[in-house]
Structure 1
Amino acid sequence: MTIKTGTRRKSRELALQMLFQMDMGKQSADHVEKTFWAERKDLEEEVRSFAIDLFHVAEKRSEEIDKLIEKHAEHWRMERMAAVDRNILRGACAEFMGFPKTPKPVVINESLEIARRFSSPESVQFINGVLDSVARELDAERKKKS
């Protein structure tokens, strides 16, 4: 089944919001999922489903994702990054890892569009640089394995 770009972007934005809620509220993934969706019952199932899938990958692989981000965000620790930025990065890395068939340039571009909406202009460049570097590393690792 093909999912429209707008549908995917909405899912990515919702996943970002869940990650942000978990991060800033210091809440468990289960709690976030229950409270987040309680007021969003009118969404299309494919939007909701992809958002949940992204959130689950980001949550389950959070340690690995955070290490990867810190490695590529030179001179930046996760806790020093703007909360929105680190969660955009987490969502994108989760998509890189959990949905490898989605082209990395698409994931990066979508993340930049979301950053333009939710973050600062300076953050867009930062996010682009980090994600580009992460994508190159993941591609190199994938080539080594094949």
Structure 2
Amino acid sequence: MARSTARKRALNTLYEADEKGQDILSLLDERIAHPGAQTPLPDYAIDIVKGVAEHRRQIDMTLDDHSTGWKVRRMGVVDRNILRIAAWEILFNDEVPDKVAIDEALALAKTLCDDDSPAFIHGLLSAVCNAKNTEPAGSVDDEPAEESNEPDQSGQTDFPASEPAAPSAETQPTVD
């Protein structure tokens, strides 16, 4: 099965876990055991989901560090998970060239997200690639500090009041 299809199937699983607030690996185990009407998940889709689950904190911190004005938790669910897949491929999967990871993410975004998302995703993933290629070896594997999604004592988050709305895509991706 083509890796493009595997990425889309991985996106479906990550999206579902994100929307349900379910542990990624427990949902993956369910999908492997009971694929339902769909064909079993391709091996590469399983690799992606496991990789994103294993490195999600590092991936999200990297995306947060390079995103201009948007934290991962404020991004649309589909956008966020497309970015996680591509970031995992860029940072942790040496078998996929960075440009391929970006192109595949853009192909998903163009079919599943709103009109602003592809440019946002392209810019953010390009920044991740540039940083990866300029950082000293081993820095990607460093354990990030714990981040809180809670507002501070004043009830404020770390976002300015004048910030525009994040690109969102609230339609669930489907498999062809």
**What's the TM-score, normalizing by structure 1?**
0.85
Deviations 1:68-91 (A, max 9, x none): 001111110122111110110001
2:39 to 38, 42, 50: 42
- Report 1:48-127 matches (<5 A): 48-127=42-121
Paired with 2:44 and 2:105, the residues of 1 have a C-alpha distance of 15
Deviations 1:22-80 (A, max 9, x none): 1111111233113334225635xxx6100010111101111100000011111101221
Q: 1:9 to 1:40 in 2, by over 3 A?
A: farther
Name the amino acid aligned to 1:116. Answer: K
Q: 1:145 and 2:142 equivalent?
A: no
Q: Which has the higher contact order (CA 8 A, sep 6+)?
A: 2
**Structure 1: 5+ residue runs without aligned partners?**
none
Q: 1:41 to 1:119 in 2, by over 3 A?
A: closer
Q: 1:10 and 2:14 equivalent?
A: no
Q: State the identity %.
A: 28
Paired with 1:122 and 1:90, the residues of 2 have a C-alpha distance of 18
How many positions carry a matched residue from both structures? 136
Paired with 2:46 and 2:80, the residues of 1 have a C-alpha distance of 18
* Contact 1:66–1:90 (8 Å) recurs in 2: yes
Which structure has the greater CA radius of gyration? 2
**Helix, strand or coil at the partner of 1:120:** coil
Q: 1:28 to 1:145 in 2, by over 3 A?
A: closer
* Contact 1:73–1:130 (8 Å) recurs in 2: yes
**Helix, strand or coil at the partner of 1:145:** coil
Alignment partner, residue 32 of structure 1: 27
Q: 1:91 to 1:81 in 2, by over 3 A?
A: same
Q: 1:20 and 2:12 equivalent?
A: no
